[in-house]
């Protein structure tokens, strides 16, 4: 028992109609969607960090839907219908995000993307290139045009094949500007964002959910949007979710940088792009899967060293040219599809966005809000 009176529980300032745990792209979109459905409800978003300590502000800002090698890999474990549905969700998600926030506000640029292959990957390149007609046909219902084509690479890269696989509809954005934009929208909609509130546990008590953290809160409906940090909160519920840490570096400014767009390498395990006049390079989880199955925000020296090597192989740059390094936490599982589900009629969760949550997050937030029943 909380010791609170009926009045306190029902009308006190610790009572919310809807509480959302996690102020990432999913949590804030869920909050905005709840506001549309329930204009008068008291809605709060709790986060253990300041804006988001999650992946939403630490990602690479690719507005991407899946490179050919990733898609063909996915088709080994998922049906064509599942893969097409997931790509459609990613594509619609980016359109929904751009409808919510202006392109200039989030630095959205439709520069296209390339899947690139290193000089020793000629046979892989040929194999994937021969499947482009098939992929274009498979995804025509999503994009309403052929999106993949072979294109020469002109970006001063070393040790890569001269041609890559271009995706004309992939873009790039600034994730922090995206999150600040969503936060502003939420605040304008009288959604209360509570920072530095780490939820320790929650429990259904009659018709309300008791949320345990720095101070006790109650709500009618609880939405959990903690993605890669969900294992402990949902530990006893046997949900298929695991943390997946990812490592990134950003170089110092590079004079005359010609790199423009987003680039995928090695089935999406590595990725790079231009940010201002710098290069962002990330990935390498496949070098140390076990150590990276964690939600501890720490650098992994083995992977950072591999990123340094790749920076040298691709651009002739060295460790001294790197100015920033960080890690972020994604949520993965046996399946690549995200999960929206309910524990009971008061508690719901929307998690497991994998490596393309910028694309999936907006729609997943909307789907999560649909679970609410006030």
Positions touching ligand FAD (CB under 6 A) are 21-27, 46-49, 52-56, 58-62, 64, 198-199, 225-229, 233, 246, 248, 282, 328-330, 353, 355-359, 361
How many other C-beta atoms lie within 10 A of the C-beta of residue 158?
Answer: 11
> Could you tell me if 327 and 299 are in contact, meaning their C-beta atoms sit under 8 angstroms apart?
yes
Q: How far is the CB of 120 from ligand FAD (least distance, A)?
A: 26
Angle, in degrees to the nearest 10, between helices 122-129 and 68-77: 70
Q: How far is the CB of 130 from ligand FAD (least distance, A)?
A: 27
What are residue 212's DSSP bridge partners?
A: 201
Between residues 60 and 259, which has the closer beta carbon with respect to ligand FAD?
Answer: 60
Least Cβ distance, residue 294 to ligand FAD (angstroms): 12
Q: Which is nearer to ligand FAD, 88 or 134 (CB)?
A: 88
**Chain-centre distance for alpha carbon 74:** 18
Q: Which is nearer to ligand FAD, 197 or 315 (CB)?
A: 197
Least distance (Å) between residue 6 CB and ligand FAD: 27
What's the closest the beta carbon of residue 5 comes to ligand FAD, in angstroms? 26
Both tokens of 20, joined, read: 């959302």
Q: How far apart are CA 259 and CA 167, in angstroms?
A: 16
Q: Closest residue (Cβ) to ligand FAD?
A: 357
Tokens (6 digits) for 57:
């502000």
Report the candidate in 329, 333, 257 with the shortest Cα–Cα distance to residue 53. 329
CA angle at 211 for the pair 206 and 216, rounded to the nearest 5° = 105
Q: 279 vs 356, which CB is nearer to ligand FAD?
A: 356
Q: Which is nearer to ligand FAD, 44 or 328 (CB)?
A: 328
Of 161 and 218, nearer to ligand FAD (C-beta) is: 218
Task: Classify 65 as helix, strand or coil.
Answer: coil
State the nearest-atom distance from the C-beta of 51 to ligand FAD, in Å. Answer: 8
* Least gap, CB of 145 to ligand FAD (angstroms): 21
Count of helix runs (H) and strand runs (E) in the chain = 11, 18
Measured from the CB atom, the residue of 204 and 213 that comes closer to ligand FAD is 213
Closest CA to 365 of 75, 28, 85, 95: 28
> How many CB atoms are located within 10 Å of the residue 101 CB?
20
């Amino acid at each position: 028992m909380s010791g609170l009176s009926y009045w306190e529980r029902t009308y006190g300032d610790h009572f919310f109609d809807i509480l959302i745990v996690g102020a990432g792209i999913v949590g804030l979109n869920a909050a905005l969607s709840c506001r549309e459905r329930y204009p008068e409800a008291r809605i709060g978003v709790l986060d253990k960090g300041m804006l988001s300590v999650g992946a939403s502000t630490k990602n690479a800002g690719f507005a991407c839907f899946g490179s050919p090698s990733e898609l063909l890999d996915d088709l080994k474990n998922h049906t064509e219908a599942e893969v097409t549905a997931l790509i459609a969700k990613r594509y619609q998600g980016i359109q929904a995000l751009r409808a919510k926030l202006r392109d200039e506000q989030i630095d959205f640029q439709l520069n296209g993307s390339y899947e690139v292959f290193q000089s020793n990957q000629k046979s892989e390149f040929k194999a994937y290139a021969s499947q482009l007609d098939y992929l274009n046909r498979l995804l025509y219902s999503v994009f309403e045009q052929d999106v993949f084509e072979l294109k020469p690479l002109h970006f001063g890269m070393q040790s890569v094949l001269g041609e890559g696989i271009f995706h004309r509809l992939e873009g790039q954005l600034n994730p922090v500007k995206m999150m600040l934009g969503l936060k502003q929208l939420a605040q304008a909609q009288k959604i209360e964002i509570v920072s530095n509130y780490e939820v320790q546990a929650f429990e259904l008590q009659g018709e309300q959910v008791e949320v345990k953290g720095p101070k006790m809160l109650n709500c009618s409906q609880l939405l959990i949007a903690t993605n890669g940090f969900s294992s402990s909160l949902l530990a006893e519920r046997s949900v298929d979710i695991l943390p997946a840490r990812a490592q990134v570096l950003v170089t110092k400014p590079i004079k005359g940088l010609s790199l423009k767009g987003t680039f995928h390498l090695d089935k999406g395990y590595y990725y790079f792009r231009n940010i201002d006049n710098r290069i962002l390079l990330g990935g390498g989880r496949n070098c140390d899967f076990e150590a990276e199955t964690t939600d501890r925000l720490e650098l992994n020296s083995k992977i950072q060293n591999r990123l340094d090597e790749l920076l040298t192989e691709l651009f002739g740059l060295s460790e001294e040219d790197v100015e920033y390094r960080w890690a972020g936490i994604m949520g993965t599982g046996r399946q690549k599809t995200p999960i929206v589900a309910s524990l009971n009629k008061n508690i719901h969760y929307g998690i497991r966005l994998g490596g393309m949550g910028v694309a999936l997050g907006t729609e997943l937030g909307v789907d999560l809000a649909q679970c609410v029943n006030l």
